[in-house]
Structure 1
Amino acid sequence: MGVSKPLSGYTMSVVDRDMLNQAHLYVLENTEEVLSYIEQHMIHIKTAYPKFRKRTKWLQDKHNSTFIQWLRFKVQSELNEEDNHGVSENLRWLAAGPNMAVPLYRSYLIKGIKFNIKA
């Protein structure tokens, strides 16, 4: 009775890239394992753009627009090294990012109750 599952066939929908990146960044910034990478990225930005190191809003905007790609590259380069720097499976998946294609179902069974989704 506590089983939740889709009841219909699905159609694939492609999520808006900007919205997906915003959600992905939110998840990354609220994951303990990623915090040290955020600090490293901020140091990287301040070093690469020394004229802007005191401009908090500019630094945050630059971080927001470049962190996902930087993290993907950083984790991949750590995985390519001999000791893998202890990169966990979770961090590897987080750095790879979510899939833009999402299955959509017309009906679900949630805790024994059928829900129909209107298109």
Structure 2
Amino acid sequence: VSKIRHVRCGAMAQPGSPLTTHVLNTAMGVPGSNMTILLYKQDSSAAAWNLITTGITNSDGRCPGLTTRELFTPGVYKLHFDTDRYWGCLGEESFYPYVEIVFTIRNPVDKFHIPLLLSRFSYSTYRGS
């Protein structure tokens, strides 16, 4: 049984953190702060997702340190963003109750930055640096 890490997302990335994310509320032109993020890894049979880490974005919309170099191995990962709760806390409704970004890691020694650009009716993402 693996333990789930709970991350308090500070302003700066932890040294050696291989995965970072940044949520930007493009509708209001502000960081997406206080958004819950869950990081999963697909098990080897591809039948299930294993929760690795939970975190909440800081005041700058960032959540560095979601995983460690030791835990970040090749495989398929998923970032789950709780957009419904985020918009609800702002007194707004969203078309998307959550956003999931699924990506493949082949070379875990690289740095991966996966931002989420968000409005109530759209979102986009890309692999940043």
Same fold (TM over 0.5): no
Structure number with larger C-alpha Rg:
1
Of structures 1 and 2, the one with the larger relative CO (CA 8 A, separation 6+) is 1
TM-score, with length taken from structure 2: 0.21
Q: Which has the higher strand share?
A: 2
Q: Which has the higher helix share?
A: 1
